[in-house]
Amino acid sequence: MSIAIQQTRSSLLVCAATARAEMRRTLAYTIEVVRWPLFPLLYYVSLYFTYEAAGRDSVGATTPAAFLLVGIFGMTLWSSAIWSGGYAVESERSAGTINSLFLSPASRGAVVLGYSLGAITVFVVPTMVVATGLALALGVDFEIADPLAVGVAFCALLLAALAMSYLLAGAFVLTRRANMFANFIQSPIYLLSGMVVPVDDLPRVLQWFAYIFPISAGMDALRGVLLTGATLDEISGSVMRLVLISVVLMVAGQYLLERVEHAARNAGTLDFE
């Protein structure tokens, strides 16, 4: 077996092990199990009544109720990714386990991705349950023409969330104020990625920002295949844009992670001692 295949296999195993560990940590306390269905539910209700108060009864070709159902799904993915993968190195540092992790030969990137996947696995399930309940209660009609396209759009959105968290994992550690920055950028991304309002309704300059966030392309694709019956061909442009930007973010994230570790080992600041 070539070295590249061995390393890939080893990284996948580390990623899976980290995802399992992150799931166990997340589910260690009952309050966490209760909190996560509440997160999408409360956000959805707040935004739904905001649209009601604004007198909007349509968003593009669909209703606010349907638009926001897909929106809270994106919010869950993004929040899970930023607070797990994006925050991974910093959370190891604050938990006092960063030396133990960095003493191991495991791929740091695989650990970061494992954090994201573990959190997403835990939080997507309650979000789906909440979304299904809301869809039934509010009479939201889904229009799915191509089930394969739904799978592709979902995977593309997942890739976008992982790529952004991967980039942030290194960047947050560089700032040494990960918590503050995670809080700072969480809500603007909701806005700029078309989760809570359509990107087309934003001022022109903000639309350009939205264009460079891969999650906005994922939201377009997922809404298209779930609400307006878009096919794989019709979402291919958005998906290609998403994949290209995600690859660039992942490469930048890998570079940052390596630089951060090297700089910390050089300066002796890996654990703030």
Partner 1 sequence: MLAIETSDLRRTFNRSRGLFRGGEELVAVDDVDLAVPEGMIYGLLGHNGAGKTTTIKMLSTLLIPTAGSARVAGFDVVADERSVRRNLGVVLGGDRGLYNKLTARDNLVYFGHLYGVPRGAVGPRVDALLDLVDLGDRAADRVEGFSRGMKQRLHLAKALVHDPPVLFLDEPTIGLDPAAAVRVREIIAGLAREKTVLLTTHYLHEADALCDRIAIIDHGRIIVEDTPAGIKSQVGGDRRHLISVRGNLNGWTRELLGNLPGIASVDLEPTDDGLTTITLVANESAASVDAALRALHQEDVEVDAVRTADLTLEDAFLALTGERSE
Q: Which residues bind partner 1 (CB under 8 A)?
A: 10, 13-14, 16-18, 20-21, 24-25, 28-29, 95-97, 99-106, 111, 262, 265-266, 268, 270
For partner 1, the closer of residues 18 and 76 by Cβ is 18
Dihedral sign for Cα atoms in the order 3, 5, 6, 8 = positive
Angle between helices 214-227 and 147-175 (to 10 degrees): 160
Beta carbon nearer to partner 1, 61 or 95: 95
Residue 141: enclosing H or E segment and its boundaries?
Answer: none
C-beta of residue 148 within 8 angstroms of C-beta of residue 232 = yes
d(CA 164, CA 213): 8
Q: Is 2 left (phi over 0), alpha (psi -120 to 50) or beta?
A: beta
What is the smallest separation between the CB atom of 112 and partner 1, expressed in angstroms?
13
Tell me whether residue 16 or residue 145 sits nearer to partner 1 (CB atom): 16
Q: Pick between residue 112 and residue 245 the one whose CB is nearest to partner 1.
A: 112
Rounded-to-integer distance, Cα 223 and Cα 218, Å: 8
Residue number, 20 or 56, with CB nearest to partner 1: 20
Min dist. Cβ of residue 104 to partner 1 (A): 4
Within its chain, how far is the Cα of 49 from the centroid? 25
- In 3-state terms, what secondary structure has residue 62? strand
Nearer to partner 1, 107 or 216 (CB): 107
Residue 243 Rama label (left phi>0; alpha psi -120 to 50; beta): alpha
